[in-house]
């Protein structure tokens, strides 16, 4: 058995923790001192995957059931309250990790503007990821009834100002985003279930369903006005792949092995995509971290994309006659003879979703196999290079496009093999299957992707083949490397908790995992000590067990009686809730939950709170404000059990106690996320203040 010892390296970055994280897709590096950064930024940033970053704090998905909360619950009548992608980032948020600025209004504005430019600019990107992210931001914002960016508080929905409620809104927002993007309300719900929400319950299901429903209706309503037919609610989603219907929609038993082969191919190509993108992302983290370099890279990619597209069209001699049944809206003649259009241009010069649609539905014979082969190759590398660039970009549509191209090629090759009159080798059908296989191979979604594709193509017949290829693609892809989103989460050193604890971790117990000794507070604590502990920049803890007042015997840990958060202590210090002031009637009123909610989610730093020398001598009674029943476990609890508690309850702190209920250790998310299975069995990541 390996002897696992805990290593924590604290760098001297002090208190700038957290706020400097760029979004994974790299949005804004905000308002910190630029000069400092330029000066202190080394040319190469050493990147080590075996690290877990301490800069990511957790969200509080466990309610603090303190006295104030219970009083409010008692007072509350039931009515009024009840009435009331960044895909990887959203995934992390819903898992319980606070990714700075992920649900801010500013992020939304930049995201929307960015995605318009990147899609219209012809990059190999899609708009669905940003739409899902936007849905989540809107939900997070609306649910709070205020915007800190706009400095406006509408004084509504105050009940929702806590992590648990906001999380549910974000889940629903993401679902609404999918729903609007693909016109897939059920797919949206399933997307939230499969990819997003780490914590799921019955209530959430129908809330998300409701959000999805409203989103579809709203979209349809406004689209009907946009199309000049107000009231006609049958518009498809914003990304539309056209309907598969008619007699050609069929498949046969003997095609099943072909679908499985395509699924496997998709899994392998997806894994290749992920591996290349993984190396590229590491390169970017190391060398392309300066904003000017990031802008230059984006410009380079845009230039190369345009050049490659144009060169491909220029050298292509795939000219197709402009017949009656041509579905092209804007066929491009370019260098073709009159009455003909260039097939390569159809693939390159349209928006990616439009190209997908053409590949699905254009009649057989509209694409040359060489055109499709070259297009797949070129677009594959452009898409790999583009994902992770510091622009708003989704990976769904480019993946579908790559898959549709090689799927159609597969179909054409099949029709060469099959007898000429057979109708089963319809290239459009294989384009759809290829698209599913490629996307499944990259993102490894199964359930939700099936439903999204079924809804987006308005066809249930292909449900089974799509399920089959997605399963195959996932199994084959997982054999080589994780899904793209997971790779990016890992590369950012986010303490993400997966569904299960690492398989070989049963022999580890809470005693080995926990931190000890634990910084605790007495139930009635001296203000000076609280301020000192909170201001200590070498150990920035966010949760503190509260113990029954101990005598001066320091060796013996105290008995647990509660848990209090840094944010709560800060609000208490700000309002000077001291025992002495209460008894001398100096304080105007009792603190209420509202005071905590008003400060949520950006609690001021301890440095901004002034405590005079006299006040340092005062006492603070934490009884009313602490969570009096924190979850505790005995020291012998195995890691998987601790993991399960964290995962199922969305915990942030778990106190480890001995058999007399004395606090002996504390476990947080990072203590658990540190363990993972590597090549040589169970490995331990290091915690670092990076
Ligand atoms: P989070 O950052 O997730 O919001 P946190 O800041 O309270 O929560 P971590 O950042 O996960 O906790 O803690 C980093 C390390 O410090 C972990 O190993 C954890 O066990 C330890 N730790 C956290 N709180 C205390 C405490 N009160 N006393 C001693 N060690 C602690
Ligand atoms: Mg922390």
- Write the DSSP assignment of 81-140 as a string of letters: HHH---HHHHHHHHHTEE-TTTT-HHHHHHHHHHHHHHHHTT-S-BSHHHHHHHHHHHHH
Which domains occur in the chain, in start order? 86-226 (no CATH), 253-317+352-491 (1.10.3080.10), 510-688 (3.10.580.10)
Average pLDDT over residues 272-277: 96
In 316-437, the DSSP E strands lie at 319-321, 340-342
360 contacts 241 by C-beta, under 8 angstroms? yes
Give pLDDT, residue 188.
92
DSSP state of 159: G
Kindly report the length of the chain.
690
In this model, does residue 23 exceed pLDDT 60? no
670 touches ligand 1 (CB under 6 Å): yes
**Which atom in ligand 1 lies closest to the alpha carbon of residue 543?**
7
- Mean pLDDT over 96-116 rounds to 86
**Element of type H or E holding 9:** strand 8-9
pLDDT at res. 681: 80
Confidence of residue 633 (pLDDT cuts 50, 70, 90): very high
Q: Above 90 in pLDDT, residue 299?
A: yes
Cα–Cα distance list, 456 to 180, 211, 592 (Å): 11, 18, 49
238 — pLDDT class (breaks 50, 70, 90): confident
ipTM value? 0.97
Q: What number is the average pLDDT over the span 569-597?
A: 78
CA distance 494 to 95: 10
Q: Which of 187, 165, 191, 33 is nearest to 103 (CA)?
A: 165
453 in Cβ contact with 436 (< 8 Å): yes
Bridge partners, residue 51, by sequence: 686
The helix (H) or strand (E) run that includes residue 57 is strand 57-58
Q: Do 578 and 569 contact (CB within 8 A), yes or no?
A: no
How do residues 401-411 score in pLDDT, each as one tens digit?
999 999 999 99
More confident residue, 77 or 631: 631
Cα gap 191→171, rounded to integer Å = 9
Task: For a ligand 1 pocket test, name from 60, 496, 515, 519 the mutation site with the most ligand atoms within 8 angstroms of its C-beta.
Answer: 515
Residue % of the chain over a pLDDT of 90: 35
Concatenate the DSSP letters of all residues of 478-525 into one string: HHH---HHHHHHHHTT-----SS--TT-TT-BHHHHSB-S---EESEE
Mean pLDDT of all residues belonging to the chain: 83
Residue of 465, 455, 434, 463 whose CA lies nearest to 270: 434
pLDDT, residue 84, reads 22
Q: Residue 553's pLDDT is what? A: 60
| Position 29 confidence tier, pLDDT thresholds 50, 70, 90 | very low
Our answer on whether the CB atom of 192 is closer than 6 Å to any ligand 1 atom is: no
- Centre of ligand 1 from the C-alpha of residue 476, in Å: 38
User: What residues pack around ion ligand 2 (CB closer than 5 A)?
Assistant: 57
Q: Return the pLDDT at 269.
A: 97
Mean predicted confidence (pLDDT) in 555-572: 89
Distances (CA, A) of 471 to 7, 153, 261, 463: 39, 47, 12, 12
Q: Is the pLDDT of residue 635 over 90?
A: yes
Of 252, 194, 258, nearest in space to 433 by CA: 258
Residue 432, classed as helix, strand or coil, is helix
Q: What confidence score (pLDDT) does residue 590 get?
A: 75
Average pLDDT (564-586) is 83
- Is residue 339 scored above 50 in pLDDT? yes
């Amino acid at each position: 058995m390996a002897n696992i010892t805990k290593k924590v390296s604290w760098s001297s970055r002090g208190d700038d923790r957290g706020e400097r994280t760029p979004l994974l897709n790299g949005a804004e590096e905000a308002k910190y001192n630029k000069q400092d950064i330029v000066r202190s930024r080394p040319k190469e940033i050493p990147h080590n995957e075996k690290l877990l970053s301490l800069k990511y704090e957790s969200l509080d998905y466990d309610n603090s059931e303190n006295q104030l909360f219970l009083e409010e619950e008692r007072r509350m009548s039931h009515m009024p309250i009840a009435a009331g992608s960044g895909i990887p980032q959203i995934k992390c948020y819903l898992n319980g990790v606070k990714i700075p600025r992920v649900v801010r209004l500013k992020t939304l504005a930049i995201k929307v503007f960015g995605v318009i430019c990147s899609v219209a600019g012809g990059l190999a990107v899609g708009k669905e990821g940003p739409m899902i992210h936007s849905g989540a931001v809107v939900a997070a914002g609306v649910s709070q009834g205020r915007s800190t960016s706009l400095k406006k508080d509408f004084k509504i929905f105050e009940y929702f100002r806590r992590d648990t409620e906001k999380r549910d809104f974000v889940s629903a927002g993401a679902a609404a985003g999918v729903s609007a993007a693909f016109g897939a309300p059920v797919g949206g719900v399933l997307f939230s279930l499969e990819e997003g929400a780490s914590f799921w319950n019955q209530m959430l299901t129908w809330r998300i369903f409701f959000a999805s429903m409203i989103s579809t209706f709203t979209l349809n309503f406004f689209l009907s006005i946009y199309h000049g037919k107000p009231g006609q609610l049958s518009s498809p989603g914003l990304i539309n792949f056209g309907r598969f219907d008619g007699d050609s929609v069929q498949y046969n038993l003997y095609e099943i092995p072909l679908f499985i082969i395509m699924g496997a191919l998709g899994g392998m190509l997806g894994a290749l995509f992920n591996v290349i993108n993984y190396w590229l992302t590491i390169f970017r983290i190391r060398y392309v971290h300066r904003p000017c370099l990031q802008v230059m890279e984006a410009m380079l990619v845009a230039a190369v994309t345009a050049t490659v597209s144009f060169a491909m069209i220029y050298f292509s001699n795939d000219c197709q006659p402009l017949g009656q049944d041509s579905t092209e809206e804007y066929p491009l003649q370019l260098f073709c003879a009159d009455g003909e259009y260039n097939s390569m241009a159809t693939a390159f010069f349209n928006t990616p979703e439009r190209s997908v649609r053409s590949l699905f539905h254009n009649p057989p014979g509209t694409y040359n196999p060489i055109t499709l082969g070259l297009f797949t190759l070129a677009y594959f590398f452009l898409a790999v290079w583009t994902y992770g660039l510091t622009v708003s970009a989704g990976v769904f549509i480019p993946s579908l496009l790559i898959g549709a191209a090689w799927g159609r090629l597969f179909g054409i090759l099949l029709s060469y093999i099959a007898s000429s009159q057979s109708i089963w080798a319809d290239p459009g059908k294989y384009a759809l299957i290829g698209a599913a296989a490629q996307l499944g191979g990259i993102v490894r979604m199964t359930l939700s992707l099936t439903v999204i594709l079924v809804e987006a193509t308005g066809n249930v017949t292909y449900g089974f083949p799509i399920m089959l290829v997605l399963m195959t693609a996932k199994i084959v892809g997982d054999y080589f490397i994780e899904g793209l989103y997971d790779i990016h989460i890992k590369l950012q050193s986010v303490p993400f908790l997966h569904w299960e604890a690492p398989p070989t971790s049963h022999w580890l117990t809470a005693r080995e995992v926990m931190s000890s000794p634990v910084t605790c507070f007495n139930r009635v604590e001296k203000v000076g000590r609280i301020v000192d502990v909170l201001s200590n920049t070498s150990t920035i803890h966010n949760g503190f067990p509260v113990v029954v007042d101990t005598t001066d015997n320091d060796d013996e840990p105290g008995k647990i009686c509660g848990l209090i958060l840094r944010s709560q202590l800060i609000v208490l210090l700000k309002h000077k809730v001291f025992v002495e002031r209460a008894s001398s009637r100096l304080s105007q009123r009792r603190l209420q939950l509202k005071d905590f909610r008003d400060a949520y989610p950006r609690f001021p730093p301890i440095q901004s709170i002034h405590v005079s020398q006299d006040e340092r001598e005062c006492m603070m009674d934490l009884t009313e404000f602490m969570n009096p029943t924190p979850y505790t476990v005995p020291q012998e609890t195995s890691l998987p059990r601790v993991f399960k508690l964290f995962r199922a309850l969305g915990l942030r702190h778990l106190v480890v106690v001995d058999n007399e209920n004395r606090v002996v250790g504390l476990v947080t998310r990072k203590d658990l996320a540190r363990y993972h299975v590597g090549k040589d069995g169970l490995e331990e990541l290091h915690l670092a203040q990076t």
